[in-house]
Chains A and B, each alone.
Chain A
């Protein structure tokens, strides 16, 4: 009898990139619902626009590179990029801003570098930084969260759609009436204007640790992240590194001078800290890959977030911190190679 010839091993894996990405998306759902609850339906429109442009540009780029678009689309990585970008945007964002970010993320940061697996930089963060620099005014239009303050004004679904499509607000409203500084903005400018941390915290938008609403979205990110850890989609090194890299310097400065520095808890529950620790920094392609290297990479991101928030000109530093550590990845991987069994421990490093 004749048989087929194959190469060992003959058992096939039962995991796939597609299922990994789907689980990442699933882990984002609680935070997405919280986002809609606190900041209105704008998030959903941003997500739809980002997804459409990410998937569309991925299809076109695969065609242009002479490959089957279905191969790239079936891994759902473009949708994860779109989702991360949508979480980074203010809930009220005109569509062209979102589209620019999505196109930059997929076309430039991903496919011009060779597609999934070859991108040096985190695509979503590249897209975000481009629009942050190109559209500073639109990117600063954060509405106040629900239960934030007394004169809370919310836009209806239709008004949100209209703004997203045209960039114009309803007649009676101005930007100033609906937008609020984010807690991080308020903290940074407050501290720089010689107000104390305790004074800034009296602002009604501040919650238990971070900003009201914001801290709850962070909780849901942490919840989703914990689930990913349990499912072993991500490993502990990067999240732990990011959190320690941020909390240790924040803690030290807060102990030395509690008046002029935000507390570690505020850093943790404000801005995109938790989103970054579990969902952005953990993008395996652009992160370091050795276990020790991942911890170092995470610590670097955490520290840079702190440094940018404290001394930089941006209120949150997540995107810049991630991109800077992306650059350091090859060196980190080279230096932190694990000990190979049977090699002498000293001669490991050439």
Chain B
């Protein structure tokens, strides 16, 4: 059996936050019934939008492909249940930018009839890695930890880098969120099965399963199943409970002791990180031919009557889910999709559960304990920054809009974990300011590239004009030269003729 090990790398800073996870892990995962209506955004992944391939009025089956990608970065979308497509229209979704996004709306018939599983695979362990990857691409599987990067593309990129380790991320360090914890407890075989499929597809022989020390039940269950499987490629690693140890780059630092280079990916240092939920989704798709049409999500916070983890079909709205688990309390003042540190605040509960939705957090508003005050450079923010930035200095440069200094002090390395905000005695919203500053840097870079393009166009034009002038001048000179030559020739001719005349006389 693989015992939890402690030979870990070091993470700078971080915070020990109050977990708030006990409430939502008290009971098993609750199945949410199929709602009357499903709202499926065509973009539930990082990359280009998928293209709808169903028309309004068309009847679809559970698991049927309804939006596909054609070669670009992205993931296809499948119908979460059977029913009729009633609209393809903008709908409120939980994204950082923009309120509405195009969605396929399905009126469910309640029968939940699946498509014929015609192309179910043979035993995966006999397949070539390339075929497995293609299969994963068709399953609509994306990183379920929150970044929703299309898994198949991530794996393909990883293969070209020839990684050393697969790291399964079961850390889930943000407060309130417990969906991965419950997944690891209840779907342990699926998680570890997914890990074995990934190892096979990547032709790797080490997979670290990283779990935070505050999840004893999940650790115990994983240990039991690992003993059962007796697969020494799978190694369970217990990581300390420190936020944000579950960030991809932070986890690589902890588990492999390697720093992901700035602007790079974990694969640059030989590591590939996958969320435990992603591994389970891969297992369900490859072994049971079930595409990604449902996920486990945590419904919690003092704004809901019954904090619990639920398994809901993608496209079920938050309103439907909360109603099913007992409704809101009087404290329901803000709705956050994701955790309290990095989640996205949304204004309406009409947003659907999508592949990225790991938590539905309904909270009362935190009481404000005083206005924003000037920075006193106490440096507490630098002490907790996991990337070892100096937020106090960055804040100065952001205020001064000093792009060069912001870059040299690593603004683009900020992972927006929010630790600095939480320790700031002056209550400066540092993370929000850095988000704005990053956007500003991008804007400046755009401006610069626009100016550069304009400069190139201008120089090209000057060059062209210069060239044309040169050509004209050359022609003129040629003409002149030939004219002069012609004159000289004519004179010579005349002289010659004259001479001849003279001789004749």
Contacts and interface: CB of A to CB of B under 8 A. Distances in A.
Majority DSSP secondary structure for residues of B touching A: loop
Given A8-B345, A9-B421, A16 B370 contact: yes
Contacts of B249: 341-342
Nearest to A287: B377
Contacts of A9: 340-342, 418, 421-422, 431
B374 A6 contact: no
Contacts of A16: 369-370, 425, 427
Interface in A220-273: 232, 235
Looking at A1, A117, A285, the one whose CB has the most chain B CB atoms below 10 A away is: A1
B270 interface: no
B387 A342 contact: yes
B53 interface: no
Interface stretch (B29-37, B177-185, B326-334): B326-334
Interface in B394-424: 408-410, 413, 416, 418, 421-424
B344 interface: yes
B164 to A, nearest CB: 18
Interface in A120-178: none
Interface in A99-133: 115-118
Nearest to A338: B388
A127 B175 CA distance: 47
B378 A20 contact: yes
A4 B262 contact: no
A1 B349 contact: yes
Contacts of A284: 376-379
Given A3-B332, A116-B376, A290-B382, A11 B425 contact: no
A292 to B, nearest CB: 11
Contacts, number: 174
Given A9-B431, A13-B421, A18 B377 contact: no
A340 interface: yes
B386 A341 contact: yes
B421 A342 contact: no
B345 A7 contact: yes
Interface stretch (B38-46, B152-160, B360-368, B494-502): B360-368
A197 to B, nearest CB: 39
Contact of A7 (B332, B365, B388, B432): B432
A221 B24 CA distance: 48
B347 A116 contact: no
Contact of B390 (A7, A71, A337, A344): A337
Interface residues of B, number: 71
Contacts of A346: none
Interface in A1-27: 1-20
A279 to B, nearest CB: 15
A11 B347 CA distance: 18
A350 interface: yes
B388 A339 contact: yes
B373 interface: yes
A11 to B, nearest CB: 5
Contacts of B424: 13, 15
A75 interface: yes
B343 interface: yes
Interface string A18-49: 11100000000000000000000000000000
A126 to B, nearest CB: 17
A58 interface: no
Contacts of B344: 8
A74 interface: yes
A291 interface: yes
A333 B393 contact: yes
A20 B410 contact: no
Given A13-B423, A74-B370, A117-B377, A1 B328 contact: yes
B54 interface: no
A3 B413 contact: no
A71 B392 CA distance: 21
A9 B429 CA distance: 9
B183 to A, nearest CB: 24
A11 B422 contact: yes
B347 A3 contact: yes
Contacts of B390: 289-290, 337-338
Looking at B341, B410, B413, the one whose CB has the most chain A CB atoms below 10 A away is: B410
B345 A6 contact: yes
Contacts of A291: 379, 382-383
Nearest to A3: B335
Contact of B334 (A3, A14, A337, A343): A3
B389 A15 contact: no
Looking at A6, A284, A333, A342, the one whose CB has the most chain B CB atoms below 10 A away is: A342
A126 B473 CA distance: 74
Contacts of B263: 342
B260 interface: yes
B477 to A, nearest CB: 52
25 contacts: A3-B346, A4-B333, A7-B431, A11-B17, A13-B369, A15-B424, A71-B373, A75-B373, A115-B374, A116-B376, A232-B380, A287-B377, A289-B390, A289-B393, A291-B379, A291-B382, A291-B383, A338-B390, A339-B388, A340-B413, A341-B12, A341-B386, A341-B413, A343-B413, A350-B408
Given A116-B373, A340-B389, A341-B253, 8 more contacts: A3-B345, A4-B345, A4-B347, A4-B365, A10-B363, A289-B379, A337-B393, A338-B390
Interface of A: 1-20, 71, 74-75, 115-118, 232, 235, 284-285, 287, 289-291, 294, 333, 337-344, 350
